[in-house]
Amino acid sequence: MKFYSTNNKSLQVDLATAVLQSLPQDKGLYMPVSIPDARAVVADIQDMSLAQIAIAIATPFLEEDFSPAQIRTICEQRIDFPAPVITLSDHLHVLELWHGPSLAFKDFGARFMAGVMSNLAKERQGQLTILVATSGDTGGAVASGFIGVDGVEVVILYPSGKVSPLQEKQLTTHGQNITALEISGTFDDCQALVKRAFHDPDINKKYLLSSANSINIARLIPQTFYYFEAYRQLSDLCRSQEVVFSVPSGNYGNLTAGILAQRMGLPIRHFIAATNVNDIVPSYLTRGIYEPKPSIPTISNAMDIGDPSNFRRIEHLYDHQWSEMKESISGYSYDDETTRRTILSIKQNHNYIMDPHGAIAYLAARDYQKNHAEDEIIVLETAHPAKFLPVMSPLVGDIDIPERLARLSRETKVATQMTNQYESFKSWMLAR
């Protein structure tokens, strides 16, 4: 399959270029020239495992560059953990996406991407350097997915003081081929440094650069898998013909993947874009005006993004038609105090603990239900609540910490501190 730039449809490249280059030189984002028809997967979905779903969805994207055996190996080895649907109440369900190694939904994208990239990098016979900006969970998932992968090094940029302590340990304790940069600034600053580096001829002369952020199309392909898996489980539970997804939204890669799944033929009635006070997209859906602004720190830190990259892909998928996007997506935003009350309410009413991001998606689902009482809604729970102990413990008390996370808490943080000025970052890159 070929991939084109959202800024120029005639600029088409192969999979290796789209994945390893990450960003087109015209500063657009790569999209597939055609969206595969997966209605046959939907028809047979009750007889399929998650790995089989992944293989069926991934094949049209990868088959020109990977053999069927390679695709099967990537999907079976990299998507080797469950994504269960839990029913909270009538018509309201939770898709738990935190059962992977780093306890966040981004394990789907990062581990799949690591399998794809390592194979492509071997063919190129060069060292691949992955630059990734993180607002919380991306860096941990990427570090876990790429640790020890031959021919690949990872440089993670994260905003100082704006990720939780355990999230920070997931970024800074691996060593080997993983390097962490603690940036004085926001996630948007980190993302800006990464994007600028991709268009810097001096850095590109020295490095073969790629990105593991959701700007990379290889992150979005595997994120479609769990939309199909959620539908499989829900249709088995309640025989629903169409579903609504409530998606915690920061850089909007998760929502973009859902739209791709819908365009493939998955029966999705509607999307709910749920976020914190960084309400750039909900505001756009209300007013039709896109106004990026500096991000505001919140307790749902993975959504502290003031200029979400994947909005450009979403806009592209809806042909820049605000009215069509508004019909398909409802936007909601909430402040920290409302989020805290919701976490407590979920615990009291359902004896279930949700992290701050999932809690926002839950509240948006409940608000949407006021006018759509019969719709089956799946809330995406994107991270294990133990990753946010400073927020969660005062609200719900002790939380069991999975051993793979508790073990990291005992490790020593290793990170290079740096300003958010591009010249400092560039000098560091060139001096390595």
pLDDT, tens digit, 9 for 90 and up, residues 237-254: 766 678 999 999 999 999
Tell me, what's the pLDDT at 151?
Answer: 83
Dihedral angle over CA of 379, 385, 387, 391, nearest 10: 110
The pLDDT of residue 194: 93
What is the structure's pLDDT at 407? 85
pLDDT at residue 231, as a whole number:
95
Q: How confident is the model at residue 138 (pLDDT cuts 50, 70, 90)?
A: confident
Residue 348 pLDDT exceeds 80? yes
Asked if residue 201 has pLDDT above 70, the reply is yes
**pLDDT at residue 390 above 70?**
yes
**DSSP H or E stretch at residue 95:** strand 92-96
CA nearest neighbour of 97 among 112, 79, 84, 80: 84
- What CA–CA distance (Å, rounded) separates 162 from 194? 18
Q: How large is the C-alpha radius of gyration of the chain?
A: 20
Residues in the chain: 432
pLDDT of residue 211: 86
Comparing C-alpha atoms, which of 203, 144, 207, 201 is closest to residue 176?
144
Strand partners, 272: 246, 330
Where along the chain do its domains lie?
Answer: 81-103+220-400
Measured from the Cβ of residue 241, the count of other Cβ atoms closer than 10 Å reads 9
Q: Which two tokens stand for residue 212?
A: 């593991």
> pLDDT tens, 97-124?
999 998 999 999 999 999 998 888 777 6
CATH topology of domain 81-103+220-400: Rossmann fold (3.40.50)
- pLDDT for 124: 67
- CB count in 10 Å sphere of residue 371: 8
Angle subtended by helix axes 165-172 and 389-396, to nearest 10: 150
Rounded to an integer, the average pLDDT of 337-361 is 97
pLDDT digits (tens, 9 = 90+) for 21-69: 888 988 899 999 999 999 999 999 999 999 999 999 999 999 999 999 9
d(C-alpha 247, C-alpha 165), whole Å: 24
Q: Supply the DSSP string of 215-236, one letter for each residue.
A: TSHHHHHHHTHHHHHHHHHHHH
Rounding to the nearest 10 degrees, give the CA dihedral for residues 182, 273, 222, 100: 60
Region for residue 325 given its phi and psi (left: phi exceeds 0; alpha: psi -120 to 50; beta: otherwise): alpha
Rounded distance between C-alpha atoms, residue 290 and residue 407, angstroms: 43
pLDDT at 239: 66
